Amino acid sequence: MTPKLIVFAILAFVSVVSAVWMISTRNPVRSALFLVVTFLTMAVFYLTLGAQFIAAVQVIVYAGAIMVLFLFVIMLLNLGAPQALREPGGLQRPAAILLGAVFLGALFLSPTLLSMTSKPLAPDDYPQTAAAATMQGPPSPTAANIGTVETIGYNLFSPSLPWLFPFEATSVLLLVAVVGAIIMAKRQV
Amino acid sequence: MAGVPVSYYLVLSAILFTIGVIGVLIKRNPIVIFMCVELMLNAANLTFIALGRHFGQVNGQMYVIFALAVAAAEVAVGLGIIVAIFRTKETIDIDEINLLKM
């Protein structure tokens, strides 16, 4: 039972329990806060998988911007009261849980889901300062530098790699989303 | 030193995704339904990064970056739509909003 496994087990338990609480509570503010806990555990998972940049972006964007937006809208619509919306009774809840269990079973039918082990990557080799300064090619993926800002930045901005165009398209997408959100929420168009 | 096997992350991601699916089916508040969709997106992101780490490529994380940006844009527009619906109908119970035309 290595420390990594212990940390993973504790965090996985916290994230699953928090997600279950999120869907079982009737108060939407509590749902949002439980989801924030799940997002923070996901950020730590990204750290253990070597994705430092994505972990930081997860905390900043998901837990820090998207969930804050959710809470603003919940408070704007004054939905904090738990008795505001009645949960569906009758057959819907057991049917949903049963279908969810069937879906989870179907996911487990995949042959690779349970049998993948982690391949050890190349050991960390810190590049010489001169080579790093010129940066002729992408940094070779070792265990340490797959998720660094350097690698992701090189991949995002290099014209020879396919990620530059989606990056520019994403900026246009965000502009369109801002305009769309403002128009949707205006009193009169 | 062997770390956590990638299978553990995949199983955790499957469980979180299923919890999101159950939440979308159960809940009546569209904001909470939206939050369950975000949980599903996060489960998929975890799969991307775990498999990217398994294959030693950075592509998994690139997909996650763009999925994050798209999710942020989607949340902005979706919440704007919910606010607009609430302003017109005074209720956001998902069982009441069952007509395409209001």
Residue A132 pLDDT greater than 50, yes or no: no
Which among B2, B34, B61 is the nearest to A54, CB-wise?
A: B61
Q: What is the mean pLDDT of residues A160-170?
A: 92
What is the tens place of the pLDDT at every residue in B48-70?
999 988 888 888 999 999 999 99
What is the tens place of the pLDDT at every residue in B39-48?
999 999 999 9
Which residues in B62-73 are b (16+ Cβ under 10 Å) and which e? Answer: bbbbbebbbbbb
Better pLDDT: A135 or A186: A186
Mean pLDDT of chain A: 83
Q: What is the mean pLDDT of residues A9-17?
A: 96
What is the tens place of the pLDDT at every residue in B1-32?
457 888 899 999 999 999 999 999 998 888 99
HSE on the CB side for A60, CA within 13 Å? 8
Query: What dihedral do alpha carbons B19, B21, B26, B30 form, nearest 10°?
Result: 110
Q: Nearest-CA distance from A128 to chain B in Å?
A: 21
Extract the tokens encoding B42: 């996060």
How far out from the chain centre does Cα A141 lie? 22
* Chain A interface, best mutation among B1, B24, B29, B37, by max A CB count within 10 A: B29
Extract the tokens encoding B77: 């527009």
Q: Nearest-CA distance from A23 to chain B in Å?
A: 5
Q: What is the mean pLDDT of residues A91-117?
A: 86
Q: Nearest-CA distance from A121 to chain B in Å?
A: 7
Count the Cβ atoms, other than its own, within 10 Å of residue A41.
22
The answer to whether the pTM exceeds 0.90 is: no
Q: Are B88 and A77 in contact (CB under 8 A)?
A: no
Structural domains in chain B plus CATH codes:
6-89 (1.10.287.3510)
The predicted structure's pLDDT at residue A101: 93
The end-to-end CA distance of chain A, in Å, is 61
Which among A8, A51, A86 is the nearest to B49, CB-wise?
A: A51
Count the Cβ atoms, other than its own, within 10 Å of residue B27.
25
The predicted structure's pLDDT at residue A85: 56
Q: What is the mean pLDDT of residues A44-56?
A: 92
Residue B89 pLDDT greater than 80, yes or no: no
The end-to-end CA distance of chain B, in Å, is 61
Q: Confidence band (pLDDT; 50, 70, 90) for A128?
A: very low
Q: Could you say which DSSP state residue B86 is in?
A: H
Q: What is the mean pLDDT of residues A145-166?
A: 88
What is the complex's ipTM, to 2 decimals? 0.91
For helices B6-26 and A28-48, the axis angle rounded to 10 degrees is 170
* Chain B interface, best mutation among A91, A118, A156, by max B CB count within 10 A: A118
* SS (HEC) of A51-106: CHHHHHHHHHHHHHHHHHHHHHHHHHCCCCCCCCCCCCCCCHHHHHHHHHHHHHHH
% residues pLDDT > 70 (chain A): 78
Q: What angle do CA A112, A117, A120 make, to 5 degrees?
A: 140
The predicted structure's pLDDT at residue B3: 74
Extract the tokens encoding A113: 């889901």
Which among A23, A108, A177 is the nearest to B22, CB-wise?
A: A23
List chain B residues with CB under 8 Å of A29: none
Residue A104 touches partner B, C-beta closer than 8 Å: yes
The predicted structure's pLDDT at residue A9: 94
